[in-house]
Structure 1
Amino acid sequence: MGETRQYQAKTLEVALSKAARDLRVPMEAVQHEVVFDGRRGLFGFGQRDVIIRVDVDSSRSAAAETGIAQERRDGPSPVAEERRQASPARPHPSAAPPRTGRGPGGARPARPQAREETTQARPAVRPSAAPRTEQGRTLLSISQELIGGMKLDIDCVVHDEGEDALLELSGADERLIIGRHGDVLEALQYLLNRMLARVPGLSGRRVFVDCAGYRSRHERNIEEQARRTAVKVRQTGEAVQMEPMNPYHRRLVHLALQDEPGIKTFSTGEGYLRRLTIAPAD
């Protein structure tokens, strides 16, 4: 078996580029096998590199067959050398007249001051107020560690007076922490609850994550949509199936319509495809 070498990088293309530079062959000639195709991770956490195994002899043979690697190993070809000698010689830069750097009258022009560039690191997640309880401080510490890895400009406040805790976020990167239709906010809340479930003293508490009042506005929109749908069902006498929702949002609809006359609600389906139906009462 011939010689093999392993290379790893964030992407397959970068790993192949490393192998090509090391073997001094073009990237398209690298004969490789993917050992591990990498892992993207969530929010950048858990990301792993791509690993490839390269057959050294086969790669060099493939490059030699196309004649691409010959010039890299043996120097320029005779034809290229002949063309170089036939071309007129260019004057060496040292033959140019020296520059005095002086303007008319021999005065030296003023040297422009170098522009001072200052780069400020983006602030990490910052607590706006210290929690009152030990559980709240633990929640804040874990939240800072998780959100801080996202490199966002975010302020963090923990409200832990009630049965459930609320992590309230705000700052310049609110749009990024909320995500499209609140998907980043939901994922962050899920991760926090999974992490806190293993912490003594916090395993029985739920944590809700909100940013700039987005969650409360979204919940009001869901309740208003449910009431409008109930009016439509009452007028037409036909059931309406709503879009897939998570268990918490389905519960909001059930509670919002539990006292509506002539209306009943029920859920069908499994997992993420589970949907809530608003129908006329029997």
Structure 2
Amino acid sequence: MDVVASEVARLRGSVTIQAEREQGTEIRIHIPLTSMIEQILLLRAGTETIALTQGPVETVININPEDLQEQEERYLVAFENDWLPALPLHRLLGCPPGADPQTAVILRCGDTRVALLVEKIESQREAVIRPLGPLFHNHPFISSATLRGDGNVVFALDASRLHAAWREHPSGADRPLEKRTEISEAAVLWAEDSISVRKLAHHFLEGAGVSGDTAVDGREALDRLRSGQYRVLITDLEMPRMHGYELLHAVRNDPQLKEIPVIICSSRGSEKHRQLAQQSGASGYLTKPFTQEAVIAALEAVLPEL
């Protein structure tokens, strides 16, 4: 019950237990309406797994090589005597491809259909889907997440955002953000105590072709930096054990680490906080919620220092 109580508390819910002798025990779990239990598909593409709620799913089909066409970097998949625009999931996520797509998930939004190409469907199950809030407000196709049985966060695709992206940029909706060669070899360490932000950070770095790791707080980040394998540090401010400014101070006063560029990542976006970070020795500033483009721009701004 400790595990159940912990997970329910994380969802801002509550657990009540009422027992009567020789009658039994009643356990009530209350979860706020902002958390929804839905049927989801867990989709696999390359090294990534992502969730998709089944609401917009019209059907799932197996595809053969002859069912797939590529025209000027766009994909089309055969379905019901027609050719539908197709979005390869690995390109959407910006991760390396694995096996050739074997499955197409047909999504419908109004009178529009789009096929999502995946290597396989890992499973179908019920899951609690939790909105991710303002941090993901500007993300092109993710707005919620769920937890797997092993505790790992899995992001959930927002099908309506996928359709909107395809309608706005039909020739490029399935293209990943272009990778910059000048940052492709920059090993980045990102210190952040929020598991969802760490997951997003890793996803953005991987999508940009950047080698990156994450740390749960400043103490772990400092220990990792001393391994000598990282060229840039991005850090949150409010973290347990060692917060961002303590980490920045430790880096700037360490003879082996003092030249490493440090980018502060915080929801405090005022000019006062930016100036404080600069005066404390920060090389750059990234405001939450952030986009992949903002992360890359922040890295490119400090790379001349390397």
If the TM-score is normalised by the length of the shorter chain, which range does it land in? under 0.3
Normalising to structure 1: TM-score of the pair? 0.26
Normalising to structure 2: TM-score of the pair? 0.25
By relative contact order (CA 8 Å, sep 6+), the higher-ranking structure is: 2
Q: Which has the larger radius of gyration?
A: 1
Q: Which protein has the bigger strand share?
A: 2
Q: Which protein has the bigger helix share?
A: 1
